[in-house]
Amino acid sequence: MPTDLTRFAVADGPGTVTRAPDLPAGFAETFSSRLIETNGLRQHAVIGGDGPAVLLIHGWPESWYAWRHLMPSLARNHTVVAVDQRGLGRTGKPDDGYDAGTLAGDQIALMDALGHEHFAVVGHDTGVVISYALAADHPDRVSQLAVAEIPGPPGVSPAPPLFVPAPLNDKVWHIPFNRAGKVAEQLVEGKEHVFFGYEFAIQGGKPLPEAVIDYYVNGFLDPESLRGCFGFYRAWDATMAQNKDRATRPLAMPVLAIGGADSWGDHVREGMQPTATDVQGAVIAGAGHWVAEQAPEELLTVLTAFLSD
């Protein structure tokens, strides 16, 4: 039966949802929700398990909660840290600091505060960009890197042209929109369920449950959270410039590139090839973009094998 846990709220403020739907049974017995101050930034993470640490970095427009179905199994052999990235969930939403280098630095500060010197990293969507920067900027800290569902980091992998076929346009149209400045907030405010609901609907694979989408969308109903969710995209140019430098230093740790068969598929592996010397690929059948929620058991199978090597 799903577990109703009021302390696993999606965000602070007017948009808070106090019920987290679809949590696995027994989740509260393994995991705790923590707020940790690091270098002036309040970071939120859900933490549990025992063993070598694995850091889970979600994508847009989600939160730590995207990993909920994987976390109990991973926690049998790992200390699992599922974080809300800067600007999203219950982590702070400052005006700046959304370039990949700063976002990666947030994660280093968090893992320092938790006492983890070495750890594996798993990133999805925007979490791929943060995870790549983390591995490239701090290679002595990251033992393994797994990335899912974007075809490589910006500034390293080729970017799609402005006018593309409709299926690809569905995947990337939000990037220039989100970068547009305050006009994005002005157009989305009051229509959050239309805007974010459309994004969840068009990314391939089986639709997520309506209650799960509501849980995410209701986290953006206050102006601070809405502004924070666009921060990553508005630092895109800075991140691309940083990544051109990172591309001169190929990653030495093992990399697993994962695509959903109904979304980016093997393009994730192709996009990561220029970034590292040891890139493995996996395509998850029956999954679109939201691979950790659409095919958690299949994703667990490839992740568990990768992390145990």
What does the mean pLDDT of the chain come to?
92
The three-class DSSP label of residue 81 is: strand
- The predicted-structure confidence for 40-53, as pLDDT tens digits, reads as follows 999 999 999 999 99
Least confident of 11-25, 75-89, 262-276, 285-299: 11-25
Q: What is the residue whose two structure tokens read 């991973």? A: 74
Residue 154's nearest CA partner among 179, 178, 126 is: 126
In this prediction, residue 7 has a pLDDT band, given cuts at 50, 70 and 90, of low
Instruction: Retrieve residue 192's tokens.
Output: 């959050």
Enumerate the domain spans of the chain.
27-308
CATH architecture of the domain 27-308 equals 3-Layer(aba) Sandwich (3.40)
Whole-angstrom distance, CA of residue 236 vs CA of residue 81: 26
Whole-angstrom distance, CA of residue 102 vs CA of residue 19: 31
Other Cβ atoms less than 10 A from the Cβ of 301: the count is: 14
Q: What pLDDT score does 164 carry?
A: 78
Residue 123's nearest CA partner among 106, 135, 114, 108 is: 135
Do the strands 79-83 and 41-49 form a parallel or antiparallel pair, or are they unpaired? Answer: antiparallel
Q: What pLDDT score does 157 carry?
A: 77
Q: In what order do the strands lie in the sheet with 31-38?
A: 31-38, 41-49, 79-83, 53-57, 119-124, 142-148, 255-260, 279-284
In this prediction, residue 165 has a pLDDT band, given cuts at 50, 70 and 90, of confident
**Is residue 281 within 8 Å of 269, Cβ to Cβ?**
yes
Q: What pLDDT score does 18 carry?
A: 47
Q: What is the residue whose two structure tokens read 């950790």? A: 292
Position 74 pLDDT exceeds 90: yes
Whole-angstrom distance, CA of residue 57 vs CA of residue 169: 25
Look at the chain and count its residues: 309
Q: What pLDDT score does 9 carry?
A: 61
Q: What is the residue whose two structure tokens read 């600091």? A: 97
State mean pLDDT over 191-213: 95
Whole-angstrom distance, CA of residue 151 vs CA of residue 141: 24
Instruction: Retrieve residue 208's tokens.
Output: 């997520």
The three-class DSSP label of residue 174 is: helix
The model's pTM is: 0.94
Position 275 pLDDT exceeds 70: yes
Q: What pLDDT score does 2 carry?
A: 34
Q: What is the DSSP letter of 84?
A: P
